[in-house]
Structure 1
Amino acid sequence: MNEQPRPTRRNEIRAQNETLILRAAEKVFAEAGFGGATMQLIADMAGLPKANLHYYFPTKESLYRRVVQDIFEIWLQAAAAMDDAPGPVEGIGAYIDAKMEISRRHPDGSKVWASEVMHGAPVIQDYLETTLRDWTRGRAALIQRWIDEGRMAPVDPNHLLYMLWATTQHYADFGHQIETLNGGRALSDRQWQAAKESVKQIILRGIGAL
């Protein structure tokens, strides 16, 4: 068996720099929005020369679209558990778990997405009209199948999806509010697990799946 070639040092540096840039960009775009962010601010946050940013991402828009695309790809991966599940309890339950974990680990990416959409999606409207629309239609069809099979109550699949997004992403987009109401502290591991279980119970019972 032929061994796969080891990545070169140059490739390792490139991957490290891209990761630094994307993490910094998520934070700056989340705090300043697309209009308020600058490549210099992102470079400073990443601890890299501004020229490095332009080497990897020629324009602010290309970097912004990559940040948005990355968070959406992570959300798509979360939906895989729903696609392969035998029913709504397993599928929607796993989807809630995954989406809330993403909100915990990638809060800035979620905030960037929310801000973009609230401003009318001036940069990613094409993405909403293609990738997101197709994904939503596929998941709505799956939910409708579970309804037709009598596994859950006859609810509007689209509105259920909107509720799932709003609830799970609330923990990222309104994280500061949650921390304030939690005595100024981030939710602990125990509190995150309790939140997931509560959200699953409320939604799954509400749609008649439990």
Structure 2
Amino acid sequence: MEPQKRAKNQLKTHIRAQNQELILDTAERVFARQGLAKTTTQMIADEAGLPKANVHYYYRSKQDLLDAVLERILTMWLHSVSLFNFEEGPKANLTRYISEKIDQSRSRPNASKVFAMALIGEEEFVLQYLRDYFVTELSREKATIEKWIDLGLMHSVDSEHLFISMWAMTQTYADFDAQIKIVLNKDELEDKDYDAAKSFITSMVLAGCGIKED
């Protein structure tokens, strides 16, 4: 391929990636604010500063766009939280897991809200993704927890409910941030609020698992 043609193709690829990222970022924000049902591709196009035709060039329908947004969210969640390391033990791993989940709620609140809406609405894309990928990862973490239990490093706990509880406690700081702001009497949550949440949730989980913090 000629250098000039190669450079032209690289530019097209770069522009395409930029446009898709802009559309997905905007769609995540609009879906979180307006809700899945009320959001339209016209709203997304207007907020992104693009013609509606540009949005449909990359995503044929609102459903295609929603699925793309959800795939990006779920992939991010699947790979951004560290896998449990058996040698480090339960205290270090659970503490890190809770910290990383709170950090996700702090940095990507719209992602958490869109996921919650899709799960409540039983969007098939989310349900199938959880079946295909999330269950596998959870079973791997469960096996590690069971080894720690067998070694007496923590109490015998139901690992599925342990994870469900940690998700509920951490993701609420994104999904229901409006409620938390009212309870804390704040216009916006600060870093110290998230740090306090990490500390409190970690203490609760470790205590419930029979793990000393000292």
State the shift of 1:167 in Å: 0.7
In the TM superposition, what are the counterparts of 1:111-126 in structure 2 within 5 Å?
Answer: 111-126=113-128
* TM-score, L = length of structure 1: 0.88
Quick one: distance in 2 between partners of 1:196 and 1:61? Answer: 35
After TM superposition, list the pairs within 5 Å mapping 1:18-33 onto structure 2: 18-33=20-35
Which residue in 2 is equivalent to 1:93?
Answer: 95
Distance 1:33 1:133 in 2: 27
8 Å CA contact 1:152, 1:209 repeated in 2: yes
Correspondence 1:140-151 to 2 at 5 A: 140-151=142-153
1:209 alignment counterpart: 211
Displacement, 1:11? 3.3
Deviation at 1:131, TM superposition (A): 1.6
Query: By how many angstroms is 1:83 displaced?
Result: 4.3
Residue 54 of structure 1, CA deviation: 1.4
Cα displacement (A) at 1:20: 1.6
What is the aligned partner in structure 1 of residue 179 from structure 2? 177
Q: CA deviation at 1:209?
A: 1.8
Q: Distance in 1 between matches of 2:86 and 2:45?
A: 41
The answer to whether the aligner puts 1:163 opposite 2:180 as a matched pair is: no
Equivalent AA in structure 2 for residue 72 of structure 1? L
Deviation at 1:49, TM superposition (A): 1.2
Aligned residues: 206
Is 2:50 the partner of 1:48?
A: yes
Segments of structure 2 that go 5 or more residues without pairing to the other structure are 1-5
Find 1:154's aligned residue among 133, 153, 156.
Answer: 156
The alignment-based identity, stated in percent, is: 38
Q: 1:62 to 1:85 in 2, by over 3 A?
A: farther
| Amino acid aligned to 2:138 | T
Q: Report how far residue 170 of structure 1 moved.
A: 0.5
What SS does the corresponding residue of 1:200 show, helix, strand or coil? helix
What is the CA-CA distance between 1:77 and the residue it aligns to?
2.2
Note the alpha carbon deviations across 1:105-138, whole angstroms, 9 max, x for none.
1111111111111122344322222222222222
What is the root-mean-square deviation in Å for CA atoms of aligned residues?
A: 2.1
For 2:3, the equivalent position in structure 1 comes to none
**C-alpha distance in 2 between matches for 1:74 and 1:19:** 14
Contact 1:82 / 1:90 at 8 angstroms: preserved in 2?
no
Structure 1 letter corresponding to 2:184: N
* Pairing 1:32-43 to 2, within 5 Å after superposition: 32-43=34-45
- Alpha-carbon distance in 2 for matches of 1:84, 1:176: 37
Structure 2 distance, partners of 1:70, 1:147, is: 34
Aligned letter for 2:21? T
Q: 125-134 or 156-165: which moved more?
A: 125-134
Question: In structure 2, do the counterparts of structure 1 residues 29 and 145 end up closer, same or farther at CA, with 3 Å as the change threshold?
Answer: same
In structure 1, stretches of 5+ residues that fail to align are: none
Could you tell me which of 58, 70, 80 is aligned with 1:78? 80
Asked if structure 2 preserves the Cα contact closer than 8 Å seen for 1:78 and 1:99, the reply is no
Larger radius of gyration: 2
How far apart, in 2, do the equivalents of 1:76 and 1:209 lie?
A: 26
Tell me the TM-score normalised to structure 2 length: 0.87
In the other structure, the counterpart of 1:61 is: 63
Does the C-alpha gap of structure 1 residues 54 and 84 become closer, same or farther in structure 2, counting only changes over 3 Å?
Answer: farther
- In the other structure, the counterpart of 1:190 is 192
